[in-house]
Amino acid sequence: MLYAQEYPMGKLRVRQPFPSAKIDYPDPFLLLHHANMSISQDADLKNEGVGPHPHRGFSPVTFIFKGGVHHLDSRGNNSVIYEGGVQWMNAGMGIIHSERPPLDIHERGSRQEIIQMWVNTPAAAKMRQPEYHPLSSENTPNTKSTDGKISVNVVTGNLMGLVGPIPTATEVNSATLQAEKGGKIRIAVPENHEVFLYLLDGKITVEGYGLAEALHAVLFNKDGNSIEFEALENTRMLFMSGKPLNEPMASHGPFVMRNESELMMAMRDYQMGKMGILIED
C-alpha cells in the first residue's frame, strides 16, 4: 500500500502515491496526482488551474470528482466536464492544453477535486495524431454491486459486463467507484494486468490483504483473476487495470518517449511550434 505524499506543483498542492521511493511506476501507469482545491471567491479563474503546457507520448487523463475542468488545446478542442466525468487525452505526437476551473465553479461549491493519471502509450503509437475524449457523468456506463451499495462508473475497457466508451491505445480498464458503508464487491480482472485502487477517502478491507485507508493506493499482485473488498466507511475510489507494455521508457517533464534522443526531439519540436499554439482568451 502506498501513501500519497503531498507535493507542491506550482500554485497547486497534489497527493502522489506513485512514483515514489517504494515504486517507480506500475507499468503502464506512470503517475497519479490527487488534487483537492478550494477556489477563492475573488480568484481570477482565467489564471487558476494549469496554464498551457505540452505533452507527447502518453495519455494525460483527468477524473473529476468535484467541481469541473475547462479543457482547451492546440487542436481546437474546447470543453467543460463536470463532477463525475473524465477528460482523456491521447497526446500522441504532441499537443498543448490548459486545464482551468469552469466559470461557474462558485455555483458548484467553489471546490475542484480531481485525479490526473498519466498512462503510457506503446512505442508504436507515440507519434500518432492526438485525440481528445471528453466524457460526462451522464454518458458514463454505470452498474452496481449485488448488494446495491457500490456504484461503478466504467470509463474504459471491459468491467462488470460494461464497456467503457473511451478508446485506449492498449488494454486499460478504468472506473470510479462510490461505496456505502458495508458494501461488498468482486471485480474480475485479467491475470496479466497491473491493478490498483486509490482511495480518495474512507476505509475498505481488501480480501487477502486487509485494511486500506484514505489517500493510499493499493497495488495488487499479478497472480489472480479478481479483487474483492468491503467498505468500512463511505468511500470514493479510482480503479484501474492495464496490460504492462514492458518497453524501454524515458521521460522528461511533460514528455514520455523511448529514449533520450526522442526526448530531445520532443523538446525541439515543441520549441519550434510543431505541437501547435494555444492562446487562451
CATH no. for residue 187?
Answer: 2.60.120.10
CA distances 67 to 1, 38, 49, 103, 188, Å, are 28, 10, 12, 11, 31
Is residue 118 assigned to a domain? yes
User: Using one digit for the tens of pLDDT, what is the confidence trace for 143-192?
Assistant: 999 999 999 999 999 999 999 999 999 999 999 999 999 999 999 999 99
Same structural domain, 100 and 120 = yes
Q: Name the least confident of 134-138, 210-214, 219-223.
A: 219-223
Per-residue pLDDT for 43 more than 90? no
Average pLDDT over residues 64-73: 97
Report the half-sphere exposure of 189 (CA within 13 A, side-chain side): 27
Angle at 127 between CA 35 and CA 58, to 5 degrees: 20
Q: How confident is the model at residue 233 (pLDDT cuts 50, 70, 90)?
A: very high
Q: What is the pTM of this model?
A: 0.96
Per the structure, the count of domains in the chain is: 2
Is residue 262 assigned to a domain? no
Is residue 272 assigned to a domain? no
Q: How confident is the model at residue 64 (pLDDT cuts 50, 70, 90)?
A: very high
Residue 12: what pLDDT?
82
Q: What is d(CA 57, CA 263) in angstroms, rounded to the nearest whole number?
A: 10
> How do strand 162-163 and strand 194-199 relate by DSSP bridges?
unpaired
3-state SS, residue 247? coil
Report the half-sphere exposure of 143 (CA within 13 A, side-chain side): 15
Is residue 89 assigned to a domain? yes
Q: How confident is the model at residue 217 (pLDDT cuts 50, 70, 90)?
A: very high
Q: How confident is the model at residue 10 (pLDDT cuts 50, 70, 90)?
A: confident
Which domain does 69 fall in, by range?
Answer: 1-139
- How much of the chain, in percent, has pLDDT values that exceed 90? 90
> Average pLDDT over the chain, rounded to whole?
96
- How much of the chain, in percent, has pLDDT values that exceed 70? 100
Taking Cα atoms as reference points, which of 86, 152, 116, 120 lies closest to residue 17? Answer: 116
Residue indicated by cell numbers 474483492: 228
Is residue 188 assigned to a domain? yes
Per-residue pLDDT for 11 more than 80? no
**171 contact partners, CB below 8 Å, separation of at least 6:** 157, 190, 193, 242, 243
Is residue 271 assigned to a domain? no
Residue 95: what pLDDT?
98
Residue 46: what pLDDT?
87
Same structural domain, 148 and 230 = yes
Strand partners, 239: 175, 197
